[in-house]
Structure 1
C-alpha cells in the first residue's frame, strides 16, 4: 500500500512541493533579521524620498522578502492542481514548523554558553558571540506573531481570489489568476505584519510608508515571476501526463471525484 502511494506521481509531486514550501518559509524567517538596501544591490545610492510625510525613506527590505514571493508562486501551483484544502494543509504545516523553529531558537538563546565560546571570535571583531547569536535568532514576539498571522491570512486570501478568477477564466490564463491573487494577498500580508508588529510603536504614516515600499517590491516580484507559473504548469503536465493533469485541475475545483491516488483536493 505505502509502496504504491510513493509510486504515485501526484503524491510524489505534492510531497516535493510541500517540502520545498516549508523549507523556503523556514529559511525566509531565519534570514529575515537582516535588512538590506535594494538600491545598493543594483549599484545605486539610497534615494531618500518622502512618502506620507515621512522623509528619508529608501528601499530597505528584510532578506526574507527575497524568498517569500516563491511561497505565493507555490501556493498558486498547489491551488491549481490540488485545491484550497491542500493549500491550507501546507500552510498550517509551515506555520507549525516555523513555530517549532522559533521555540528552538528561544531555547538555544537561553542555554548557558561555554566561556571559551563567548570570546572565540574576538579577533573577527565579534567580542561576544552570545550577543551576536541573540541578535540573529532573537526576534521580538510581536514580529513573530505578526509574521505568522500575516502568512496564514494572506494564504487564505490568495486561495479565495485565485478560485474566484478561475471560475471566470476556466483552465486558461493561469498567469492572470496567479498574478492577480498574489497582488491582492501580498497587499494584505504587507500591512498585517506591520500593524501587529509595529502598531503603537510606529505612527500610521510610518506604517503606510513602509508598507508601500514593501508592497512595491512584492508586486514587482509577482509580475516578474509570472513566467515561472507558466513554466511550472508545463513541467507538471509533462511529469504526470496531460490527461491526469486535467483530472487534477478538475478535482481541485471540485468538479469531479478524483480517481487516482487519494491526494488532497478541494473541500
Structure 2
C-alpha cells in the first residue's frame, strides 16, 4: 500500500480508538490515551516519510489526537482536569526515556538480536523527547489557556469546533516550531528542518480540521460516562 493510504488508515484508526477509549472508560480512558499516545508518538516521530510528495515525520496524527483528548477533557470536565492530563503525558515520556536509557546500558549477550535496533531507535529518543517535552508542555498549556479564553465567549456545544480549531491552530504552531528546532537542528540540514516544521504544522492543521467531528461524537455520550 502507498503511504497516502496508510495515512488515511492511521487517521481513522487513531481517532476511532480515542472515541472508543472514552466511550468505554470515560475520562480515565482519555488519561490513558494521553499517556500512551505521548509515548508512542515520541517513538513514531523518529521515522521520516514522504507522503503526498513532501517529507514529514510520523506522529503527527497521534499528537493531534492528544490535543483533541485534552480539548474534550477541558470542555467536559474543566481546566484542572485538562492540566492533569498534560502532566500525565509529561510524566509518561520521562519514565519511558529513563527506563529505556537504563535498558540500553545492559551489555547484550552473544545471542541478542535487539540491541542494535534498540540503540538506533531509542538512542535518538532522548533528544527528541527533550524537544517533545518542552514543546508539549508549552503547547498544551497554550492550548488549554486559549481554549478556555474562547469558551468564555463561545460556550455552547455547537461552537466546540471554534474552541478546538482556535486553540489548536496557535498551540500547534508553537509546539511544532519548538520541537523542530530542539529535535532536529544540527542533526539534519537546515532546509530539511524547515521542511519538517512546515509540513508537520500543515499536517496537524489538516488533522485538526478533520478530527473535530470525532470530538463531537465523543462529547455526545459524555453524560453516559464518568
1:102 pairs, out of 81, 93, 97, with 97
State how 1:140-159 maps to structure 2 within 5 Å. 141-159=126-144
Give the gaps of 5 or more residues in structure 2: 1-24
Q: How many residue pairs get matched? A: 201
**2:180 equivalent in structure 1:** 194
Tell me, in whole angstroms, the C-alpha distance in 2 between the residues paired with 1:16 and 1:200: 38
State how 1:231-246 maps to structure 2 within 5 Å. 231-239=217-225
Runs of 4+ in structure 1 off by over 6 angstroms are none
**1:175 equivalent in structure 2:** 161
Contact 2:37 2:66 in 1 (8 A): yes
Task: Identify if the C-alpha distance between structure 1 residues 237 and 212 changes in structure 2 by more than 3 Å, giving closer, same or farther.
Answer: same
State how 1:17-28 maps to structure 2 within 5 Å. 17-28=30-41
TM-score by length of 2: 0.81
State how 1:38-49 maps to structure 2 within 5 Å. 38-39=51-52, 46=53
Tell me, in whole angstroms, the C-alpha distance in 1 between the residues paired with 2:116 and 2:164: 42
Could you tell me how far 1:137 is from its partner in structure 2? 1.8
1:220 aligned to 2:219? no
Rg larger in structure = 1
TM-score by length of 1: 0.69
Give the gaps of 5 or more residues in structure 1: 1-11, 40-45, 47-58, 119-128, 241-267
Task: Give the secondary-structure state (helix, strand or coil) at the position aligned to 1:165.
Answer: helix
Task: Identify if the C-alpha distance between structure 1 residues 194 and 111 changes in structure 2 by more than 3 Å, giving closer, same or farther.
Answer: same
2:70 pairs, out of 72, 75, 79, with 75
